[in-house]
């Protein structure tokens, strides 16, 4: 018997949070939602965790049967805390020590993110990191692929302004420090690159 999560009538991100929580305690759950956005978000969460999803629609209610698989991140205890996984790209390079090597690593890293099943829910680009998400960036296609896969992309507006790149943002949205601080502080996990 599957554990039932009745998220009908609840506003996002509540259905997602309840789903994540239920998945950490149960290997098979059924989630009921009556909102298209909630349905998509729950489905995306399950997919991002490597779970299998069967979906059915009964009138205005979506029923998602989610089964943790062998590769399910929750089953491996990778993601255990509630709240989104937030990745902060705070530099145009990855790591400190050598900028040329850092450029190689950042390209390799962002491309890898598009290929593996563990995805962040949000990526914040700030300081010189915003240069990764603008037109002409060599990794813009990867950033776009993440956005297309449902990852929220936030680019620091102050930073884009400082570099004169506001008009060149190629993926995601121009964000402000309120959003950025809130996203960081409500993250389930914060990964700083």
**Residues in the site for another protein, rule: CB under 8 A?**
100-101, 104, 107-108, 111-112, 138, 141
Q: What is the smallest separation between the CB atom of 110 and another protein, expressed in angstroms?
A: 10
Count of alpha carbons within 13 angstroms of residue 95, beta-carbon side: 12
Q: What is the smallest separation between the CB atom of 154 and another protein, expressed in angstroms?
A: 25
Nearer Cβ to another protein (130/139): 139
Helices (H), 52-176: 99-115, 140-148, 157-163
Residue 90 · residue 96 · CB < 8 Å: no
Nearer Cβ to another protein (80/112): 112
Question: Whose CA is closest to 6, among 46, 84, 63?
Answer: 63
Quick one: 131 exposed, middle or buried, by C-beta within 10 A (0-12, 13-18, 19+)?
buried
Q: What is the smallest separation between the CB atom of 142 and another protein, expressed in angstroms?
A: 9
26-44 burial, b at 16+ Cβ within 10 Å, e below that, comes to beebbbbbbbeebbebbbb
Nearer Cβ to another protein (82/118): 118
Q: What is the smallest separation between the CB atom of 113 and another protein, expressed in angstroms?
A: 11
Contacts of 65 (CB under 8 A, 6+ apart): 2, 28, 29, 30, 53, 54, 55, 56
Q: What is the smallest separation between the CB atom of 145 and another protein, expressed in angstroms?
A: 12
Nearer Cβ to another protein (1/100): 100
Nearer Cβ to another protein (102/150): 102
């Amino acid at each position: 018997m599957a554990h039932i999560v009745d998220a009908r009538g609840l506003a996002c991100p509540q259905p997602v949070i309840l789903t994540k929580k239920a998945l950490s305690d149960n290997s098979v759950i059924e989630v009921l939602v009556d909102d298209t956005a909630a349905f998509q978000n729950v489905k995306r969460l399950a997919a991002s965790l490597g779970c299998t999803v069967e979906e059915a629609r009964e009138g205005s209610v979506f029923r998602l049967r989610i089964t943790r698989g062998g590769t399910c991140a929750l089953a491996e205890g990778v993601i255990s805390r509630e709240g989104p996984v937030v990745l902060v790209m705070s530099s145009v390079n990855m790591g400190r020590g050598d900028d040329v090597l850092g450029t190689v690593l950042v390209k390799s890293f962002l491309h890898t993110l598009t290929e593996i099943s563990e995805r962040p829910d949000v990526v914040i680009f700030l300081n010189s990191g915003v240069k990764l998400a603008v037109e002409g960036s060599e990794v813009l296609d990867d950033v776009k692929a993440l956005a297309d896969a449902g990852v929220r992309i936030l680019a620091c507006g102050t930073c884009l302004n400082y570099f004169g790149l506001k008009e060149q943002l190629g993926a995601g949205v121009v964000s402000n420090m309120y959003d950025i601080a809130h996203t960081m502080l409500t993250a389930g996990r914060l990964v700083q690159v």
